[in-house]
Chains A and B, each alone.
Chain A
């Protein structure tokens, strides 16, 4: 279960780095590493379908964050204080020490909540969604469609502002 500890440490450390840095490039990199680590945690718990979807969503989210950060001129930060790097570095060092020296014998916290060997197949989860949660799936699809349409509606340029700019 050393993989669980390593992935947990990577997820928490990268999330902390993403929350503290002002440079959007590093923040997006931290978010992507966090998402990939969380997908690895899903896989280690036997949730292979959730892991695959998490990896896809994390990568797409990171790419779209980069696109929008570039468009809004926030791709480069306004300068990062070196003090902010102390906290993620200290957490990373602490997690590494915890993994290597303390937690490896699994005597601190039992992380072994799942067994990849008992993984539910993606097909089984898919059939469960289609059979028992079809209404929820439909509502979720409608929410996604509404979010897409409303985002396009909100983001469209209005004539009034264009005239004001002229």
Chain B
């Protein structure tokens, strides 16, 4: 089961690296949080400490929602400024 979590995290990292838009990057980050939650809960169950594993997995899932909310705000701001959410436009914000 931990292998499944590691695979999900790896696929999420791949999506973060490959995607060209901010929404795609946040989609990959969500998959990484899914993988982290699976790893934490599976590790808790496998080590005989299920409740702490459940709690840490819940915290990671909810923290993933928090980063998604902040990311949506950044997306809206970027779209307001550049009329696009392409990652190519992010580098231009310093000008």
Interface string of B38-65 (1 = CB under 8 A from A): 1001100110001111110111011111
Q: Is the CB of A72 within 8 A of B75?
A: yes
Q: Is the CB of B45 within 8 A of A45?
A: yes
Name A56-82 residues within 8 Å CB distance of B: 57, 61, 64-65, 68-69, 71-72, 74
Q: Is the CB of A65 within 8 A of B23?
A: yes
Residues on B with C-beta less than 8 A from A42 are: 37-38, 41, 57
A8 and B27 alpha carbons, distance in the complex (Å)? 19
Per the CB 8 Å criterion, the residue count for chain A at the interface is 58
Residues on A with C-beta less than 8 A from B18 are: 19-20
Enumerate 17 A-B pairs (CB-CB under 8 Å) in ascending A order. Answer: A4-B1, A11-B4, A11-B34, A15-B8, A18-B15, A24-B24, A31-B31, A42-B57, A45-B41, A47-B50, A111-B1, A140-B59, A140-B66, A144-B65, A147-B66, A147-B69, A157-B80
Residues on A with C-beta less than 8 A from B80 are: 155, 157, 161
Q: Which residues of B contact A (CB under 8 A)?
A: 1, 3-4, 7-8, 11-12, 14-15, 18-19, 21, 23-24, 26-28, 30-31, 34, 37-38, 41-42, 45-46, 50-55, 57-59, 61-70, 72-77, 79-81, 84-85
Q: Is the CB of B4 within 8 A of A19?
A: no
A49 → chain B closest CB, angstroms: 6
The interface residues of chain A, by DSSP majority, are classed as helix
CB-based A-B contact count at 8 angstroms: 171
The interface residues of chain B, by DSSP majority, are classed as helix
Residues on B with C-beta less than 8 A from A34 are: 8, 31, 34
Q: Which residues of A contact B (CB under 8 A)?
A: 4, 8, 11-12, 15-16, 18-20, 24, 27-28, 31, 34-35, 38, 41-42, 45-47, 49-50, 53-54, 57, 61, 64-65, 68-69, 71-72, 74, 109, 111, 113-114, 120, 124-125, 128-129, 133, 136, 140, 143-144, 147-148, 150-155, 157, 161
Closest residue on chain A to residue B1 by CB atoms: A113
Q: Is the CB of B34 within 8 A of A35?
A: yes
Residues on B with C-beta less than 8 A from A68 are: 23, 72, 75
